[in-house]
Amino acid sequence: VSPRQVSAEDISLLVAARLTDAVTEIIDSYLRQSNDHILVSFANSSALAKQIENKAPADIFISANLGWMDYLIQNGLIKRASRRDALGNKLVLVTPVESEIDFEIKPYFPLAKMLGDGRLAIADPDFVPAGQYAAAALKWLDVWSEVASRLAPGSDVRNTLSLVERGETQLGIVYQTDVVGSKKVRIVDYFPTESHPPIIYSFGIVSDHDSPAVLSFYDFLTDEEAMEIFKIYGFVPR
């Protein structure tokens, strides 16, 4: 992001890419009642946090990674009092919609047996948060050792979903929000929330950027109407 002057009525918003569709709809809703100009950029949380650290134009940050929000607050770049860990997500096991696979996720559940000769689609647990959540859940459920050598690791969770949608794998682990827009997969079951670290999206205002226009939009972004829109896209208000 190249530095530039932002007018008093402009609001610059940096948002984790996973929230693109929901936040776009929320912005549209807000602009029906406001003359403000919303400038939004979607990317991964680490890239956006680095932009804030490098003084790129930004008023509001929504992070899919609590660590990056913590980092910015500790360095005085996000107003601590503005932070709201407002949304959650769920981890789910999916299968192609025509599949007859059906079982309950619980400790020692027969995941390896259900895979048959196939592989488990999962975001790469070495690099991707969704894969890290998935690996943690499978370890907690005591089935990781049975499937660790039978993974189909993807570069991101959308790639993981695509493998299942195309039938290249019969089972995959993704977020609940990924399934909302797909007609090609269905949820087999939800992973227990206690089986993995909480999946939380954190909101905050950039330090010294709490103008009346920014505060007005931030209140809307974290209030009931916006939360109802987030729910439509599969997020869980906290």
Q: In terms of Cα–Cα distance, which of 203, 207, 215, 202 is closest to 52? A: 207
Task: Assess whether pLDDT exceeds 60 at residue 2.
Answer: no
User: HSE-up of 229 (CA within 13 Å, CB side)?
Assistant: 18
Note the pLDDT tens digit of each residue in 184-198: 999 999 999 999 999
CA atoms of 55 and 37, how far apart (whole Å): 20
Task: Assess whether pLDDT exceeds 80 at residue 56.
Answer: yes
**Per-residue confidence (pLDDT) for residue 9, from 0 to 100:** 80
Note the pLDDT tens digit of each residue in 94-148: 999 999 999 999 999 999 999 999 999 999 999 888 999 999 999 999 999 999 9
Note the pLDDT tens digit of each residue in 196-229: 999 999 999 999 999 999 999 999 999 999 999 9
pLDDT band at 6 (very low <50, low <70, confident <90, very high): very low
At residue 104, φ and ψ (nearest 5 deg) are: -95, 135
CA atoms of 200 and 89, how far apart (whole Å): 7
Q: In a 3-state reduction of DSSP, which class is residue 143?
A: coil
DSSP secondary structure string, 39-74?
EEEEE-HHHHHHHHHTT-S-SEEEES-HHHHHHHHH
> What residues form DSSP beta bridges with 113?
none
Residue range 140-161: mean pLDDT, rounded: 94
Residue appearing with tokens 């919303």: 38
CA 102 to chain CA mean position, Å: 26
**Per-residue confidence (pLDDT) for residue 158, from 0 to 100:** 86
Q: What are the tokens at 202? A: 């954190």
When comparing pLDDT for 138 and 158, which is higher? 138
Q: What is the mean pLDDT of the chain?
A: 94
> What residues form DSSP beta bridges with 204?
61
Q: In a 3-state reduction of DSSP, which class is residue 17?
A: helix
**Per-residue confidence (pLDDT) for residue 92, from 0 to 100:** 98
Q: In terms of Cα–Cα distance, which of 234, 94, 92 is closest to 162? A: 94
Q: Quick count: other Cβ atoms within 10 Å of Cβ 158?
A: 15
Residue appearing with tokens 């997500």: 89
pLDDT band at 173 (very low <50, low <70, confident <90, very high): very high
pLDDT band at 8 (very low <50, low <70, confident <90, very high): very low
Residue range 1-10: mean pLDDT, rounded: 50
